[in-house]
Amino acid sequence: MTPKEGIGVTPFHLVYSVEAVVPVEVDVESDQIQHYSEDNTERMLSELDLVDEVRAKAVVRLMSYRQRMRQNYNRRVIPRSFQIGNLVWKKVKPFGNVSKLEAPWGGSFKVVGKLRSGTYYLEDEDERRLERPWSVNHLQPYRAG
């Protein structure tokens, strides 16, 4: 596949309008070396006219790729938010000798404040406020089982 086909465009090609020749290829006599001639300057100058078009296509492909990545990520995100007074489970942080078989969630905790979107202040069952806010990534809704 050639760079002109649009898929195999390398950053080197976008900058210099030619493909890089690896030193190993110089010794091996690759097709690129065997078919090189000094008359290629006209071809290279004509390709310089196409550099902007190749760059524009690369930008469009990059934007399309980023959009697909964003859509794929957002499709799997489960939005969560809590209101003041809700009960939640809090993720247990692994300290020291925490076994794999121990419960990953501890609780119940009550939401007593919201610092900003996705960050909550909690208090335990004895109404003691935890010293720091917790991210929604480390909280789950409390469902008594």
Q: What's the pLDDT tens digit per position in 2-30?
A: 444 445 677 877 777 777 776 665 566 66
Same domain for 104 and 53 = no
Same domain for 96 and 46 = no
Helices (H), the chain: 11-16, 23-28, 31-34, 40-76
Tally the domains of the chain: 2
Rounded to a whole number of angstroms, the CA Rg of the chain reads 29
Same domain for 72 and 7 = yes
Helix (H, G, I), strand (E, B) or coil at 87: strand
Distances from the Cα of 94 to the Cαs of 10, 91, 128, in angstroms? 44, 9, 22
C-alpha torsion 137→141→144→145, nearest 10? -60
The residue-averaged pLDDT of 66-78 equals 90
State residue 1's pLDDT score.
41
Torsion region of 25: left, alpha or beta (phi above 0 gives left; psi -120 to 50 gives alpha): alpha
Give the end of a domain, one of 76, 100, 126. Answer: 76
Residue range of the domain that includes 55: 3-76
Residue of 35, 29, 32 whose CA lies nearest to 2: 32
Choice among 44-48, 59-63, 109-113 with the minimum mean pLDDT: 44-48
Check which CATH number belongs to the domain holding 118 and give it: 2.30.30.140
Q: How confident is the model at residue 91 (pLDDT cuts 50, 70, 90)?
A: confident
Same domain for 109 and 54 = no
- Other CB atoms closer than 10 Å to residue 50's CB: what's the count? 13
Distances from the Cα of 28 to the Cαs of 13, 23, 46, 63, in angstroms? 22, 9, 28, 38
Residue of 141, 120, 140 whose CA lies nearest to 132: 120
Amino acid type, 140: Q
Same domain for 107 and 71 = no
The residue-averaged pLDDT of 115-123 equals 86
Q: Does 66 map to a domain?
A: yes
Q: Does 121 map to a domain?
A: yes
Q: Does 81 map to a domain?
A: no
Same domain for 70 and 23 = yes
Q: Does 82 map to a domain?
A: no
State residue 103's pLDDT score.
77
